Amino acid sequence: MDKYGQTAEETFAMSNNTGNAQSRRDFLNKAGCFATACSLAGAGVPRVHAAENNTIRLALIGCGARGTGAVANALIVNQGPLQLVAMADVFPGVIEHRLKYLRGSIQASWDRTTTDGLAASIDVPPERRFVGFDAYRQAMDCLGPGDIAILATPPVFRWVHFAYAIQKGLNVFMEKPLTSDGPTSRRMLNQGAESIAKNLKVGVGLMSRHSRPIQELHQRIGDGEIGDIFLLRAYRLIGPLATAFSHRWPGTPSELLWQVQRFHSFIWASGGCFNDFYIHVIDNACWMKDAWPVKAQAIGGRHYRTSPDGRPYVDQNFDTYGVEYTFADGAKLMVDGRCMPGCHNDHSSCAQGTRGAAVISKSGDCGPPSSTYRSHTFDPADLIWRSETAPGERSPYNNEWNDLVDAIRNDKPYNEVKSGVEACVVSNMGRRAAHTGRIVTFDEALQDDQEFAPGADKFTADSPAPVQADADGRYPVPQPGILTQREY
């Protein structure tokens, strides 16, 4: 475990993990192992047939804490039986370790705690554990129409894996963020339209939209309870976490694989800490407005570039971000982000309207209770409404799976790709505004031609990394006002 409390799996597994204190990742205690990456060639495995013909089969692509957390949420849905039948990752030691830990964690906390029930829900023998950059194909080949592919790798691969899922006719649950640049955003919007045309159900891990308190708040705001929103504020002021700060590449595994392991450190792999950490509060704030901002101006900076032991950090992130988003009607969304130890922490979001104010998330990405007030001081004496949540719907992570599976089983329209991509475009334009020192519009962020990792669908373990270190082991960083047309 490193100085920030990261386990090896958070550092090395091909999966996202923001470390949010109220996230599904805490459902599974963080564990994992580091291993040299390798590819495993093999013929496609035929679709698995479960004993019950109404069982929905799952394949997990990206087996770190976020991916296995999604599986844990999926397997306790109340919409009929689901079964995990295949797993894929680029690191060979991750699958076995997380599979073992997943079994133990679900056995300890699952409502249906019988050994037989657990065995029926997780059936991933060695021949259905696939390793390598092409492993996603082999895992999805184990499924058939109506089944679900869980896409939980770093975001750079999201469009690659989604394309194959659409080709196979699979429903999808994909983690956020989905894109970090214009070309992949446009690509995924087209893929989303294609998935709708095929009647595929697709969930996106922006779980605030499945928080029952925030859903009720959205309805109340829509009904005019606080008037017209003119200001939204969102904060994620916490210490360093996950893989956002990185030291020099140690020489193994390959530089590409190491960057995949440290994906929060690299804009090409994840959009950096801005996209991965701030998108939730950005998304829930914009949802309250029922609109996306049309432009952004921002500031940001790099301050703590050396760890306490004197080693320099070589990643591409800023330590602080401050973004002013503007909506078409002139309303503002102010977003403050900070990854520094020892500072005041604030992880929340709120809205202010012409008739009052609202707390969207009290603590965390979507932490209850949500509430509304007659004034802008958030004085308890001015409280209008404070959310209460039924015990069975307290977890938005479970809710999003119940909602997805309900749509699959009852053939309801359900596709979150467009809103998920547009939330990423908003994140991209805020990050880009900070990194270039320019005002960036929504349309500019969407139509920009810079693709950070072209050819990601052709990566192998021996491919060169999309960004290369200089002689001191440092990677190119944004230079606002100097580099104004590109982020680095």
Kindly report which listed range (79-83, 214-218, 431-435, 476-480) carries the lowest average pLDDT score. 79-83
Give the model's pLDDT for residue 240: 86
Residue 244 confidence (pLDDT): 94
Whether residue 118 is predicted with pLDDT greater than 80 in this model: the reply is no
> Which one is predicted more confidently, 25 or 52?
52
* Inter-CA distances, 305 with 230, 248, 277, 288, 315, Å: 37, 12, 19, 36, 9
Mean pLDDT of 27-48: 36
% of the chain at pLDDT higher than 70: 86
Per-residue pLDDT band for 12 (boundaries 50, 70, 90) equals: very low
* Structure-token pair, residue 307: 């760890």
Distance of CA 243 to the CA centre of its chain: 14
**Cα–Cα distance measured from residue 13 to residue 32, given in angstroms and rounded to the nearest whole number:** 8
pLDDT > 90: percent of the chain: 81
pLDDT at 114 > cutoff 90: no
* Sheet containing 320-326, strands listed edge to edge, beginning at the edge strand earlier in sequence: 383-386, 371-373, 356-361, 346-353, 229-238, 332-339, 320-326, 295-301, 440-441
pLDDT at residue 22, as a whole number: 39
Q: Which among 53, 76, 164 is positioned nearest to 122, based on CA atoms? A: 76
User: Average pLDDT in the 369-397 region?
Assistant: 96
| Cα angle value 289/293/295 (rounded, 5°) | 160
Q: What per-residue confidence (pLDDT) applies to 427?
A: 98
The pLDDT confidence band at residue 372, using thresholds 50, 70 and 90, is very high
Instruction: Find the range with the poorest average confidence among 34-38, 209-213, 396-400.
Output: 34-38
Structure-model confidence comparison of residues 362 and 11, the more confident one: 362
Please give the Cα distance from 191 to 157 (Å, whole number).
14
> How crowded is the C-beta side of 381, counted as CA atoms within 13 Å?
1
In the chain, where the domains are located: 8-208+399-416, 212-393+423-447
Distance (Å, whole) CA 463 – CA 337: 33
Averaged pLDDT, 103-109? 70
18 with 104: CB under 8 angstroms? no
pLDDT in tens, 127-182: 999 999 999 999 999 999 999 999 999 999 999 999 999 999 999 999 999 999 99
Angle between helix axes 92-109 and 65-74 (nearest 10 degrees) is 40
Contact at 8 Å (CB) between 452 and 268? yes
Range in 35-49, 81-95, 363-377, 415-429 with the lowest mean pLDDT: 35-49
Q: What is the mean pLDDT of residues 236-253?
A: 94
Predicted confidence at residue 305, as pLDDT, reads 84
Please work out, in degrees rounded to the nearest 5, the angle formed at the alpha carbon of residue 134 by the alpha carbons of 33 and 418. Answer: 95
For 44-101, how does the pLDDT look when each residue is reduced to its tens digit (9 = 90+)? 445 554 444 799 999 999 999 999 999 999 998 988 899 999 999 999 899 999 998 8
27 pLDDT exceeds 50? Answer: no
Cα(148)–Cα(86) distance, integer angstroms: 11
What pLDDT does 110 receive? 56
Q: What is the pLDDT of residues 246-269, one digit of tens each?
A: 999 999 999 999 999 999 999 999
Confidence check: pLDDT of 488 > 70: yes
Specify the pairing of strand 229-238 against strand 295-301.
unpaired
Q: Give the span between the Cα atoms of 255 and 466, in whole angstroms.
A: 9
For the cut 90, the answer to whether the pLDDT of residue 300 exceeds it is yes
As a three-state string, the secondary structure of the chain is: CCCCCCCHHHHHCCCCCCCCCCCHHHCCCCCCCCCCCCCCCCCCCCCCCCCCCCCEEEEEECCCHHHHHHHHHHCCCCCCCEEEEEEEECCHHHHHHHHHHHHHHHHHHCCCCCHHHHHHHECCCHHHEEECCCHHHHHHCCCCCCCEEEECCCHHHHHHHHHHHHHHCCEEEECCCCCCCHHHHHHHHHHHHHHHHCCCCEEECCHHHHCHHHHHHHHHHHCCCCCCEEEEEEEEEECCCCCCCCCCCCCCCCHHHHHHHCHHHCHHHHCHHHHHHHHHHHHHHHHHHCCCCCEEEEEEECCCCECCCCCECCCCCCCEEEEEEECCCCCEEEEEEEECCCCCCEEEEEEEECCEEEEEECCCCCCCCCEEECCCCCCHHHEEEECCCCHHHCCHHHHHHHHHHHHHHHCCCCECHHHHHHHHHHHHHHHHHHHHCCCEEHHHHHHCCCCCCCCHHHCCCCCCCCCCCCCCCCCCCCCCCCCCCCCC
Supply the pTM of this predicted model: 0.89
Mean pLDDT on 362-386: 97
Q: How confident is the model at residue 219 (pLDDT cuts 50, 70, 90)?
A: very high
Give residue 346's pLDDT: 98
Please, what is the end-to-end C-alpha distance for the chain in angstroms? 31
Q: Name, of 11-15, 37-41, 307-311, the range with top average pLDDT.
A: 307-311
Q: What is the mean pLDDT of the chain?
A: 89
Q: 212-393+423-447: what fold?
A: Dihydrodipicolinate Reductase; domain 2 (3.30.360)
Looking at residue 26, what is its pLDDT? 40
Residue 314: which of 250, 242, 238, 241 has the closest Cα? 250
Degrees, nearest 5: CA angle 27-28-29: 115
pLDDT for position 107: 64
**Which CATH superfamily does the domain covering 8-208+399-416 fall into?**
NAD(P)-binding Rossmann-like Domain (3.40.50.720)
Which pLDDT does position 108 carry in this prediction?
Answer: 64
pLDDT of residue 92: 86
